[in-house]
Amino acid sequence: MSETIRESAGVASAGPPADVELRSVGPCQYEIACRAGTGMRVPARIFADEELLGQIRRDRSISQLVNVTTLPGIVDAALGMPDMHEGYGFPVGGVAATRLPDGAISPGGIGFDINCGVRLLVSDLRGEDVTPSLEALVHEMSRSVPAGYGRHGRLALTRDEMDRVLGDGCPYLVREHGLGRPEELALIESGGVIAGADPSQVSERAKRRGEDQLGTLGGGNHFIEVQVVDAIFDERAARAFRLFSGQVTVLVHTGSRGLGHQVCTDHVKLMDEALHRYGITVPDRQLACVPFSSPEGRSYFGAMCAAMNFAFCNRQVIAQRARDVFRRVLHDRPGAELRLVYDVAHNTAKVERHGDRTLCVHRKGATRAFGPSSGEIPAAYRGVGQPVLIPGSMGTASYVLAGTDEADALSFSSTCHGAGRAMSRGAAKRRVQGHVLRKELLARGIVVRCPSNQELAEEAPLAYKDVDRVVDVVHRAGIARKVARLRPIGVVKG
C-alpha cells in the first residue's frame, strides 16, 4: 500500500510537530519518521490495518506513541500494537526498548496493573460433556474466586509470607503451600518468578493493599471464562499445546490488584521528582523516567518485579481454585482435570537480549511472542513457538497464537494483548443496558456471573475493537501466527 495517512499528533510544545505522516512500510505496518528538531530519537511504528487505524485515531494514542520516541536510550522504534488506545503516558498496546545500563525505565511504560496477564488451562472434555453442569460450574467458580473492586480473598498472608510471595513467586506457593504442580512451573512465563524482585522496595501501603487479595479477580476487564475450542488454524502447534476442536478450556485474566497499582503510584511520584536531577525533559509528565541504573531506577525495577511475582501467584491460586471447582462439580469425572498450557504477562519491563544488545523492553498492554528457536520458552514448545494468549472482549472469541522468530526484529518479540478498547467505559454505559446485555449473552448460550449490571455494560463487546481483526493483523505482520480460537460459554466478572 502506498497511501499516506495524516494525523494530528497534539503533543506538547517540547515534543514532535503537530502534523505527522503515517507511511506504509510493510504488511500492516505504518511508520512516523523522525524529524529534526522534534525530540524524536527513533521512528514510531504502528501495526494495524486501515479500519483499526481509524479507531486508533479517535484518541490521543498516536500522540502518546510519538512522545515515547523521545525517551532517553530508546532504540529502533516506539511500537504500537493493533489494540492500541490511550493510556497513562504510554498508549496501552505500546512497546519500547531502551539500551542498558543507562537507558530510561518509565512506570508509564508498564502501567498501574503490573503483570495483568492470562493463564490458559485445558481439560480433556468436550463442550457437550459440561453442558448439563455449566450453570453449576460458573456459579461455583464465582463463589470460589472473589471478584470485583476491593474484594478480598480467603488466603490472607502474614508479612513474612507476603515477602516470600513477592521475592520467590510461584515456586514458593508450590513448595510451601502445595498450590500447583512443580512440573508446571516451566509453563509460566519466566518460571513464575522474576529475578531482580526486591520486596524491600515495595511500600508498606502496597503490601497492606495486597495482603488479602491473593486469589481474587478484581474488576474492569478481568475475568474467568469457561470456553470451547471452536477453530484450529495450525494443527502442529495445536498438538504441541494440547488443544483440539470442541475442547473445554478455562482462561484466567487478572493481575497484581491493589498492590501493583500502589507500586506504580509510589514510584511515578518519585520519578517525577527525580527528572531534573538527571537532566531529563519529557513532553508529558506522565512519561516520567530515570536511567535504569540509577538508584530510583533500580528501586522501581525491584518493586515492579516483586509486583509481577504477586500477579503470577494470584493467577496460580485462582487456577488451583478452578481445578477444585471442576473436580467438585464434575465429581472427578475422567478428563475433567485441568492442565496448564501457559501463563503470559502483560504490563511489564523485562531485561532481555535482542541480538547483541541488552535491553529493557517495556510492554504496556502487550505481551511476549518468542519464536520457535528461543531458549526462553519451555522445551516442549521449542520448534513451535511460545503460546501467546489473546483474550477477547466478553461474549467474543479469544485466541491462542504462537510466537515467531521474525518477531525479534519486528517487535522485540512482542505482540498485542487483547482486543483493545474502542470506547470508554462511560460511553459504553450510555450505549448499553447491563441487564439487557446479560439476557442477550444468555440467549447465545453464555452463562454470566457478574453482580453489577453497570460493570457488565462497561465491558460490553461493542466497547472493544474486533478481536478477529486485531489477531489477523499480527498474523499478517508476522509477529505471531494463529493456532486456535476459543469461544466463551461461561463468564465470571467482578
Q: Which residues have a catalytic role annotated?
A: 417
For residue 438, give Cα distances in angstroms to 242, 261, 366: 32, 30, 29
Contact 319, 144 (CB under 8 A): no
Q: Do the beta carbons of residue 460 and residue 416 sit within 8 Å?
A: no
User: Hunting for cell 529493557 — which residue is that?
Assistant: 360
Which DSSP category does 296 fall into?
A: H
Between CA 87 and CA 70 the distance in angstroms is 17
Contact (Cβ atoms closer than 8 angstroms) between residue 386 and residue 370: yes
For helices 257-274 and 295-329, angle between their N-to-C axes, nearest 10 degrees: 170
Structure-block grid coordinates of residue 167: 521475592
CA dist., res. 469 & res. 48, Å (int): 9
The answer for 493, left when phi > 0, alpha when psi is -120 to 50, beta otherwise, is beta
Nearest to 254 by CA among 283, 285, 213: 213
The amino acid present at 128, given as its one-letter code, is E
Shortest CA distance to 404 belongs to which of 382, 381, 418, 385?
385
The residues, ordered by sequence, that sit 6+ positions from 381 with a Cβ below 8 Å of its Cβ are 240, 241, 342, 372, 387, 402
* Distance spanning both ends of the chain, measured CA to CA: 43
Task: Note whether 479 and 81 are within 8 A (CB).
Answer: no
Burial of 61 from C-beta contacts in 10 A (0-12 / 13-18 / 19+): buried
Residues 6+ apart with CB under 8 A from 251: 118, 119, 120, 121, 223, 224, 225, 227, 389, 391, 398, 486
Question: What are the start-end ranges of the E strands in 9-66?
Answer: 19-26, 29-32, 44-47
- For residue 183, the SS3 value is helix
